[in-house]
Homo-oligomer: A and B are copies of this chain.
Amino acid sequence: LAVSSLPGHLARRFHQISTALFDVEMRRSGLDLTPVQYAAVVAVRDNPAIDQATLAGLIAYDRTTIGGVVDRLVDKGFVTRMTNAADRRARVLSLTEAGASTIVAAEGAVVRAQEILVSGLNSSERETLTKLLDKAVTALGEVSRTGKG
């Protein structure tokens, strides 16, 4: 059983390289945002007044993970977290001005990281890879949905 040719191993390597590239390009832009933090802050921008549980489901993360990620985004001043008056269990998230401008400033780094990630493939291959990954992931939508705590 050759471990290195298993889909699971390739999944790990591809993801590992993806986050490493993201970190490098982000640092090169003078920004301090991790891949999760970027995904979260963009989701908050696109879904004003979203609560943490919905955010977790939207970008497919565990609730506990999102709690910690939001902690750091609040510390950095990119997001505010307030108790929802209508349902005091929920925490309403909002984007700050600093968060909005950071998203704009980060876009170049994000695009660059994506391009480098698939730089070994031609454009037809890139499209195929994206399509197949999406198809495989969508087919297993229930797995690791992590909706519950």
Contacts and interface: CB of A to CB of B under 8 A. Distances in A.
Interface of A: 1, 3-22, 35, 38-39, 42-43, 59-60, 107, 110-111, 113-114, 116-121, 125-126, 128-130, 132-140, 143-144
B130 A129 contact: no
A10 B113 CA distance: 14
**Copies of this protein chain in the complex:** 2
Contacts of A18: 7-8, 11-12
B15 A35 contact: no
A11 B10 contact: no
B12 A15 contact: yes
Nearest to A14: B11
A110 B143 CA distance: 17
